[in-house]
Structure 1
Amino acid sequence: MRTEDLLAAVATGMWRWDHTSERVTLDAEAARLLGLPAAPAELTQAAVRSRFHPVDFAEVMGIVQLAVAEQTLAESRLRIVDEQGRVQRIVRSRSRPRVVDGDLEMVGTLQEVPEPQPGTSAAHTPITGDWRRSREAFLLDAGRALAEARSTAEVLRVAAGLSMPGFMPDGLAVFGIDGDRLPVIGQHGYASGDERPFADMTLTADHPAAEVVRTGRASYLPTPEEYRRRYPATWPLAARFRRTSWAFLPLVNAGRTIGAWMAAFAQPVAFTPDERSVLTTVARMLAQALARAVMQEEQQELALALQRSMMPTVQPDIPGMTVAARYVPTGGGLEVGGDWYDMIPLPSGRIALVIGDVQGHDVRAAGLMGQLRIALRAYASEGHHPDAVLSRASRFLAGINETELRGHGEDQRFATCLYIEVDPATGLLDIARAGHPEPAIRMSDGTMLVRPTAGGLPLGIIPDTDYPTTRLVLEPGETMMVCTDGLIETGGHDLDTGWERLRDVLEAWEADEDGESLERLADALVQAVHGPPSHHTTGPLVDRREDDIAVLLLRREGAACGVGTGGLLTPQPVRRTVLSVAQAEPERIAEARRQVRDVLHDWADPDQVDSAVLMVSEMVTNVLLHTDGDALLVAEITGERGARRIRVDVADSSDELPHRRSPGELASSGRGLMLLELLAGAWGVDPRGDGKSTWFELYEEAAEAAGPLSSESESESESESAA
């Protein structure tokens, strides 16, 4: 009996598909199954394609590519339709694709699909549009979840949670490649320690995963008998887990096998072409996600190592002071940042604290940061004052920019910086600022104030830039915080809302005299932005990292307030702010108003706060308008809460005392002393040897003495201040 007659007797047809000529040759049975006359025929590819359901034909091409890659049979189920598109029957196609001289050719059989047998996965995965839609939705969700996974652990968690349509593995394992070994890098559905028998497996082992890595072809084991027959040596290790079907697939990325993926099933799985297609697609996405995660982890580790090598340790034993610092890198690949801090012993016996931020998040930013930090150290060690240190550093960075622009066409980079020279004995701080966020002071009573400091352009923009110096005093019990803008602005905050977030952390912190207290504050500031760190100090964080962060804390030790030893009361803390407003800086009047409002943030009567802000604005404006000198503002709060006094002094170098005037309704000035008489609890003008001081006082217990300020008066005063 001829082969054709034998196949026809069992309702099986034969066909040959030549993709080069786009011709399909059918025997009589194959033609009948396609709804054509039962006679041998040679048709065009388009004519045969018209007999298949359009969705099914698209599926066939993917299955053929899978079979070519795996060097296996291409099996698919196809709906045969008539001229009106109505489904006539479902056939199973089995073919052997071959690539000859770059041309694809398939020879195979067609057979009508019998009813599925109960108890197998095929019975639950009919070839329907609903199943295909479920599969497409699953693959989209799986691809999205794997693409978003940022670490190996996250990739494995996503893989363990995949719910495949129609069949669901209850055991997963991922094998990596380490030399000639195949370690288990992740598993799901097994108890801890179950992977130990496979921990030392080699590439030459008689195990499906080893064979898959060696050959690059998937291995499907639908029954325990098949597993035992093909891998007798390792079957006893797998038998104890009581699974009934297994799929082992290579993890291939960029043409290189990086491991193997095992999916084990408690229920029988026939591994139909549809099921194999799903598994193969997941394996490809899993390989890409793992490769991407491993690369990102390696880059992140390289970035951390680079930053740690450049980042100094702070000196913990400054007499009378405590220092704490944190650096947190940005996230995502090799995004080494330009943030840094430093602590430099000076020839004078003082200490310099430096914090800065080079523009950018790349290797060049980190390299510039390293060079700039070394240059600043050199200039500081030569004994230059803060303004001279920053001027020299700006020329240094501008020179690097000019060289790189000529040699490599690189973009110009700049850097912000805050340089603080600290006298540990007196708490004196000499500050020079180059475009950097200003320092914040937490006072001994817990109030946080952002200290306005004079400043110049960021380093590297203009070579010859002057950087004025601001002098502050860090009182006993006070803590200074300096940071880069990543701590302030991460999470969608601007400078105002970012400072408010940090204010809450600083004011809630309970200070004590041990160094660990300041370390806890440093952790709390970082956690307020990102959440708990996974490692102490400079470890990576579990939350978003939009920008890298550097923060430096300096606390001057002092006696705690309240009940001291022996039951004696120590003095209540004094809350004080000092601000200089130069003739050439009238815009700093707004800073003066903000400083007074910040000092009075917990004052009982908000009307008195408005009054104090208005009087300060008037007093400072009068100095700038009617004298040739600068104004020095000192605001000080004393006493117990609820019965406090604020005294504000505005000093200038003019000997001319103010005098009362009677301004007309349209006058734009002349109301300063009238406002003091109306709003202040007490006020006066005190002559000094080098000028005078105009002052006023407000008393918290007299909150009801001063009436609310009219909007008309406030508007007039604001107009005068603006002038």
Structure 2
Amino acid sequence: MTDDEHSARGGEIGPAERLAMNRTGSFDWDLDTDTIDVDDAGLLVLGVAPDGFDGRPASLLRALEPAEQARLDRMVQDAISGGRSSYAAHIRLDPPGGPPQWTHVQARILRRADGAAHRVVGIVRDATTEVTNSEFILNLAKRQEVQTTIVQRTTYALSRAVTVDDVTAALTGPAGLGRLGSDGLALGLLESGSLNLIALSGEGLDVFGEFRTRPLERGLPLAEAVQSGVARFVSEFPSHVEEDFPALAPYLYRMPYRSACYLPLVAQARSLGGMALFYRRRSRFNPDERNLLLGLAAIVAQSLQRAILFDEERELATGLQATMLPRVIPRIEGSEIAVRYHAAWSGRQVGGDWYDVIPLPRGRVGVVVGDVQGHDTHAAAIMGQLRIALRAYAGEGHPPATVLARASRFLAELDTNRFATCTYAQVDLAGGTVRGVRAGHLGPLIRHTDGRVGRPKLRGGLPLGLATVFGEEEFPETRLDLVPGEILVLYTDGLVEQPGTDLEAGLAELVGAIGSGPPEAEALADHLSEQLWERWGAGDDVALLVLRRSPDPGTPRAPRIHQYIHQADPQGLSDARSAVGQTLVDWGMPELADDAELLTGELLVNVLLHTEGGAVLTLEVLPEPVRRVRLSVQDRSSGWPRRRTPGEAATSGRGLLMMDAIATRWGVEPRGEGKAVWCELEPAGPDNGKGRNGPNGDDDGGTGDNAGAQARGTAERAACQAEDWIEDED
């Protein structure tokens, strides 16, 4: 419409003009003739010149990409063939030399009475602004979602970081870089006027290895950001960095990054260091991205400040505790001793766990582990006093029960309202006797030479301090035996007890770790550290002491083995007999294996049936004057065996007869608080036709082969019955 026509109508604007002014047109598509009538406004929206339009639908779609044409055709055909009455779509136009444009098509399908479509009428309008704004909003929402995710994930990861090492672990590696939304990271801390790079993560950043410790001076982008306190954003990396820092030029082009930012780390007005983030894509860092990165720098700075403070407190606390523990563990002849201490991760809070090794007269050693109530510096101070007092009482030569009674009295007199638990043992390294006492503490564990781990029952009293308050300063002693090569393990409850877990499960895990570890004391302590590291330090301190009685293998010419058989172990007798037989085979004396097994069973059955404790079995070769084998069984009973005259139907009482029949020599001798019954066997040879010697070394005339066979059969039946009895009783 011309201006004159518009004036002639009095300035009124009709419906068509109003639609055209808003870039909206109409169309009428005759499906029977496949022709379409489009007004000038509609042709303008579709980018078709009115003079060149021939009325065919295909001519309208020339400005569409083939894929877009196919999509629109499918949608229209689906609407028509599907019986629908309308359809709507956004289509993209790509005019030559211009930006993409969007058109919205909304149409109604007219059908005859039989339902067949014959016309489609509708409108087309320019939706470029609408779609562009929608895309902008969607992209903005996506960016905001990404930024929120970055902040949430980074905050969550750093909230669990306790030490500086934890913070660097949370920021580095693929997971850490993914949380930050970057491809590379460099983290530096200020220490004594230098900027120390404590973390480098990302491809190619290892080239900065020689810059790990540099004086804080201008010349490096991260150092300048730290000095100025102003972040630096580099959208053209590395060219913009090379211009300002030519000294970095040899390194920059060896990295695959296209943009970077250098952020100062400041917390409570204190400059802690700086963080650099690198990106493979080019980024101009819009205001939202810059605010995000500055916020991330603040979060990292706060986490580092908290971690640095924790590390300082931790160093102070562990240093205090270290001064309370023995600085040097003495070397005790006849033993291997290893100790370990692990502190709980709780800042300045330290526990009162301790260990000590006390040399005693007459080849003995006192070992103790304990735990003072509480987790603070006061508990550590009390621990130091109590450890020194207990060491003094033990050094005076008092028995274990007296040592703990006096230690309890000492703690009560300190008037601290604290109590302590401990396990103390005096070990006679020459004889293997262990006298143990407990004061409300966990009992020890013993690893036997065959790898089995025992849990001896130590009678106990009340914790130190409480025992005196309640007037119950009774700490009953329990005697144990430690044969050469066996290991005594003392520990505090932090090793096996954790909140929410079963104590027995923790003990079973410790028993398994001890049994699977190496036999040497230091190696076993290291093994327990590795196996139980996650448990250690979680919420309580741990003190561990491992004492191994030195092995006694004899010599290559005169080998020797020792084995302890517990009275309550029904399998121990059978295992001991098998071990003796196999050992003699290994020593090249298989002809003695059967007799030795028989004698082993008889000697051990006597101990297990007629005494109140276990037995220590020793098998050795005596090379002089004639090569022979000696079996020795030591027990705690002072009663000596008596010769009896059993009846024909008796199943016991023939032990000494069997000894006379099979052994070359046998005897009984006192050992400490008990005795040892021994016997010797000699291989058959030209000089071995002598009679059997009794307990006094006199020739008792020996016995014939039939008597020996009868004795073997009787003894075997008695041993089997004894084993069955023991198993039933257990």
What range describes the TM-score normalised by the shorter chain of this pair? 0.5 to 0.7
What does the per-residue CA deviation read over 1:305-337, in whole Å, with 9 as the maximum and x for residues that have no partner? 333333225655423222222222223423422
TM-score by length of 2: 0.57
The residue type paired with residue 501 of structure 1 is E
| 1:171 and 2:171 correspond | no
Indicate if the aligned counterparts of 1:314 and 1:342 stay in contact, CA closer than 8 A: no
Counterpart of 2:326 in structure 1 is: 312
Q: Does 2:389 match 1:375?
A: yes
Rounded Cα–Cα distance in structure 1 between residues aligned with 2:651 and 2:292: 81
Q: CA distance change for structure 1 residues 199 and 701 in 2, over 3 Å: closer, same or farther? A: same
Could you say which residue in structure 1 is the equivalent of 2:171? 159
Give the superposition deviation at 1:510: 5.4
Letter in 2 for 1:361: H
Structure 1 residue 399 displacement after superposition: 2.5
Q: Which residue of 2 aligns with 1:427?
A: 432
The aligned residue for residue 279 of structure 2 is 265
Alignment correspondent of 1:128: 140
Distance in 2 between the 1:469 and 1:708 partners?
26
1:17-55 Cα deviation digits (max 9, x unpaired) = xxxxxxxxxxxxxxxxxxxxxxxxxxxxxxxxxxxxxxx
Match of 1:17 in 2: none
Distance in 2 of aligned mates of 1:391 and 1:475: 29
Q: Indicate how the Cα distance of structure 1 residues 162 and 565 shifts in structure 2: closer, same or farther if over 3 A, else same.
A: closer
SS in 2 for 1:372: helix
C-alpha change, 1:159 and 1:706, in structure 2 (3 Å) is closer
CA–CA distance in structure 2, aligned partners of residues 520 and 166 of structure 1: 41
The 1:167–1:268 alpha-carbon spacing in structure 2 relative to 1, beyond 3 Å, is farther
Change (3 A) 1:421 1:569: closer
TM value normalised by structure 1: 0.57
- Larger CA deviation: 158-167 vs 361-370: 158-167
**In the TM superposition, what are the counterparts of 1:407-426 in structure 2 within 5 Å?**
412-426=417-431
Paired residue for 1:520? 523
For residues 180 and 538 of structure 2, the distance between their equivalents in structure 1, rounded to whole angstroms, comes to 38
Secondary structure at the counterpart of residue 288 of structure 2: helix
Structure 1 range deviating more: 498-507 or 234-243 = 234-243
CA distance in 2, matches of 1:247, 1:237: 20
The structure number with the bigger radius of gyration is: 2
Name which of structure 1's ranges 428-437 and 229-238 shifts more when overlaid on structure 2: 229-238
Matched, 1:333 2:338: no
Q: Distance in 2 between matches of 1:492 and 1:225?
A: 54
Find the counterpart in structure 2 of residue 390 from structure 1: 404
1:383-434 residue CA offsets vs partner (Å, 9 max, x unmatched): 333222212211222232x3x4xxxxxxx32211122223333223232221
Q: Please give the secondary structure, in 1, of the residue aligned with 2:284.
A: coil
Distance 1:325 1:147 in 2: 34
Check the 8 A contact 2:483/2:616 in 1, yes or no.
no
Matches for 1:632-651 after TM superposition, within 5 Å: 633-636=612-615
For residue 564 of structure 2, what is the amino acid of its counterpart?
R
What residue in structure 2 maps to residue 565 of structure 1? Answer: 556
Q: Whole-Å Cα distance in 2 between the matches of residues 705 and 348 of structure 1?
A: 38
Q: Would the alpha carbon gap of residues 708 and 197 (structure 1) be closer, same or farther in structure 2, given more than 3 Å must change?
A: closer
Q: Which has the higher contact order (CA 8 A, sep 6+)?
A: 1
Distance between the aligned counterparts of 2:425 and 2:403, measured in 1? 11
Q: Partners in 2 of 1:358 and 1:294 — Cα distance?
A: 29
1:366/1:124 Cα in 2 relative to 1: closer, same or farther (>3 Å)?
farther
The superposition leaves residues 197-249 of structure 1 with CA deviations (integer Å, 9 ceiling, x where unpaired) of 5742424x154433433343322232359946994566747754564332222
**Deviation (angstroms), 1:195:** 4.1
Letter of the 1:220 partner, please give it.
Answer: F
Contact persistence 1:174–1:261 (CA under 8 A): yes
> Which residue of structure 2 lines up, in the alignment, with residue 556 of structure 1?
549
CA distance in 1, matches of 2:325, 2:726: 54
The residue number in structure 1 matching 2:151 is 139
Which amino acid in 2 is paired with 1:476? P
Q: CA deviation at 1:482?
A: 1.5
Return closer, same or farther for 1:418/1:238 CA change in 2, 3 Å cut-off. Answer: same
Q: Which residue of 2 aligns with 1:577?
A: 566
Structure 1 position 181 matched with structure 2 position 170: no
Contact persistence 1:353–1:419 (CA under 8 A): yes
Structure 2 matches for 1:644-683, cutoff 5 A? none
Q: Where does structure 2 lack aligned partners over 5 or more consecutive residues?
A: 1-128, 578-604, 620-632, 640-649, 657-714
Q: 2 CA distance for matches of 1:396 and 1:705?
A: 49
Shift of 1:132: 2.2
- Give runs of aligned pairs for residues 284-299 of structure 1, distance below 5 A: 284-299=298-313
Q: What one-letter code is carried by the residue in structure 2 that aligns with 1:143?
A: T
Q: Which amino acid aligns with 2:150?
A: F
- Cα distance, 1:229–1:350 mapped onto 2, change above 3 Å: closer
Provide the rounded CA distance (Å) in 1 between the counterparts of 2:185 and 2:575: 59
Question: Percent identity between the aligned chains?
Answer: 33
Paired with 1:634 and 1:272, the residues of 2 have a C-alpha distance of 83
Looking at structure 2, the residues matched to 355 and 151 of structure 1 have their Cα atoms a distance apart, in angstroms, of: 29
The 1-side partners of 2:717 and 2:268 are apart by: 75
Give distance in 2, aligned partners of 1:169 and 1:256.
26
Distance 1:262 1:355, change over 3 A: same
Deviation at 1:380, TM superposition (A): 2.3
CA contact (8 A) 1:342 1:353 kept: yes
Deviation at residue 282 of structure 1 after TM alignment: 1.6
**Counterpart Cα distance in 2 of 1:234 and 1:421:** 68
3-state DSSP of counterpart to 1:269: coil
Change (3 A) 1:256 1:683: farther
**Hey, what does 1:218 align to over in structure 2?**
231
Return closer, same or farther for 1:289/1:272 CA change in 2, 3 Å cut-off: same
* 3-state SS of paired residue (1:376): helix
**Secondary structure of the residue that 1:505 maps to in structure 2?**
helix
Aligned AA (1:414): F
The letter for the 1-side match of 2:524 is L
Per the alignment, do residues 705 and 159 of structure 1 end up closer, same or farther by CA in structure 2, a change over 3 Å counting? closer
Structure 2 distance, partners of 1:166, 1:383, is: 63
The whole-number CA distance in structure 2 between the counterparts of 1:347 and 1:455 is 25
Q: Counterpart of 1:83?
A: none
Alpha-carbon deviations, 1:178-205, whole Å to 9, x = none?
23332322222234352425742424x1
2:449 to 428, 433, 444: 444
Structure 1 360/281 Cα, relative in aligned 2: closer, same or farther at 3 Å? same
Match of 1:534 in 2: none
SS of equivalent to 1:177: strand
**In structure 2, which of residues 505, 510, 513 is the aligned counterpart of residue 505 of structure 1?**
513
What is the alpha-carbon distance in structure 1 between the residues aligned to residue 725 and residue 477 of structure 2? 41
Distance 2:306 2:718 in 1: 62
